[in-house]
Amino acid sequence: STVGIPGAAPATAAAAGGRGGGRGQTTPATPSTPTTPAVAATATVERARGPEDRPSTTSWLIAADEIQATDRRIETVRSGGITTAVTFPTRGIFAGQGSIIDLLSGERAGEMVLVPSVGQYISLSRGGGGGGGGGGGFPSSLMGTISYIRQIYLDAAHYKLVKDAYAKDPRGIQRPEYDHALEGVLESKRILLPANRLVEIDRMLRFAAELKQPAILYGARESYRPEAVELLKKSGAPVLVSMRWPEPPRDANPEDVDSLQTLETRDQAASAPAVLQKAGVQFALYSDGLDQPRDIQRAVKKAIDAGLAREDAIRALTLAPARIYGVADRVGSIEKGKIANLIVTRGELFDDRTRIEMIFVDGRKYTLAADAAPGGRGPVTDDPGVNR
């Protein structure tokens, strides 16, 4: 199994791996944490920072550096059949770079990492992120945030030109000042941009083209709309569809009346995967903060009930995210030479009564306790009789 993209934790997202029965990856958010013992130990050491006019920017952060191998969420997610995950920092505008990890137990964090950097997570909400500027002020609006992102990429392009010129012949040229914020931007293989509504999908596709950056759109709640499908097909950009399907707020005022568009999106969002599959748009599912196996299974089942074929659902959680993140040569399906990430189930995947019998992560076998509930819920333990 695997996972597809951003989660809700300060350093969380989605993945790529290999489910049982000969299928590849899945899509829940992966466990990572914003602080680790190593980070805490060096917290008092002042680090090089970018200019103070760069608010909510931590582009240099790499999720792999923030992972705690003992995080209990790793076992919880793995017990649902997830073997690999892509995890991202998610705070701030330029939140940082995502990593692909195998969900191993009791390992040093470095041994879990498959790919340390797969892309820069960008949000249009400042979200309390760190960086040069920190508190209030610019950008305080959507237009301001987009202008800020645009300026960062202009600065990064100029910074690279100056660095390249100096590297070619440093004589008589002032040494460029190191800027770790721009270094993080330049190191990113691709960018992830938020787009739920139709207008946002259109805006972010045009914005990515303007920035001349390979982009993945995430969210995509209104990607079931014909206009959105045409935009995505024309652009060729891959899409990560959130499995946190829209629902009415639990504490809603009974006198409030939702708009027709809100009601339609709430009703049709789960059909987006089937619509995209039929149209030939490259997409994957991601957990968007869902980290309980039962919730993930229910979310996938809802997409299946809305028209997505079971085989396509499995692919959207395994091989599809692996291809999107460029790691299908090692994870995402069960093939000779690929990493041994897979699960063995009794019954069809996503059925309520299905039980996960065994989980293999990087060739290591995990078995579920005998009293595990249907669908694979329950504690997972190492099997000492099987070597890695």
Residues contacting 187, CB < 8 A, separation 6+: 97, 117
* CB-CB neighbours of 33 under 10 Å: 17
In this prediction, residue 369 carries a pLDDT of 55
Residue 347 has pLDDT above 60, yes or no: yes
pLDDT tens string 16-75: 334 433 333 333 333 333 332 233 233 333 444 445 568 899 999 999 999 988 888 899
Between 122-131, 152-161, 243-252, 286-295, the lowest mean confidence (pLDDT) is in: 122-131
User: In 3-state terms, what secondary structure has residue 245?
Assistant: coil
pLDDT tens string 264-295: 898 999 999 999 999 999 999 999 989 899 99
Per-residue pLDDT band for 108 (boundaries 50, 70, 90) equals confident
In this prediction, residue 7 carries a pLDDT of 37
Structural domains present in the chain:
37-382 (3.20.20.140)
pLDDT tens string 360-385: 999 999 987 554 444 544 444 454 33
Q: Which of 118-132, 198-212, 337-351 has the highest mean pLDDT?
A: 198-212
Per-residue pLDDT band for 12 (boundaries 50, 70, 90) equals very low
Residue 146 has pLDDT above 60, yes or no: yes
Closest of 89, 88, 94, 90 to residue 55, by C-alpha: 94
Paired sense of beta strands 342-346 and 283-286, if any: unpaired
The identity of residue 166, as a single letter, is Y
- The whole-angstrom separation of Cα 180 and Cα 57 is 10
In this prediction, residue 376 carries a pLDDT of 47
- The whole-angstrom separation of Cα 348 and Cα 81 is 13
Per-residue pLDDT band for 2 (boundaries 50, 70, 90) equals very low
Residues contacting 194, CB < 8 A, separation 6+: 122, 123, 124, 200, 204, 217, 218, 219
pLDDT tens string 172-211: 989 999 999 999 999 999 999 999 999 999 999 999 999 9
Q: What's the chain's average pLDDT?
A: 82
- The whole-angstrom separation of Cα 92 and Cα 14 is 18
In this prediction, residue 382 carries a pLDDT of 52
User: In 3-state terms, what secondary structure has residue 163?
Assistant: helix
Residue 246 has pLDDT above 60, yes or no: yes
Q: Which of 15-24, 82-91, 348-357, 361-370 has the highest mean pLDDT?
A: 82-91
In this prediction, residue 1 carries a pLDDT of 44
pTM: 0.81
Residue 3 has pLDDT above 90, yes or no: no
* % pLDDT > 70, the chain: 78
In this prediction, residue 107 carries a pLDDT of 66
The helices-and-strands tally (H runs, E runs) of the chain is 12, 13
Per-residue pLDDT band for 127 (boundaries 50, 70, 90) equals low
Q: What is the DSSP string of 142-162?
A: HHHHHHHHHHHHHHHHHHHHH
215 or 257, higher pLDDT:
215
Mean per-residue pLDDT for 201-226? 98
Which residues face 58 on adjacent strands? none
pLDDT tens string 152-171: 999 999 999 999 999 999 99
In this prediction, residue 109 carries a pLDDT of 87
Residue 355 has pLDDT above 80, yes or no: yes
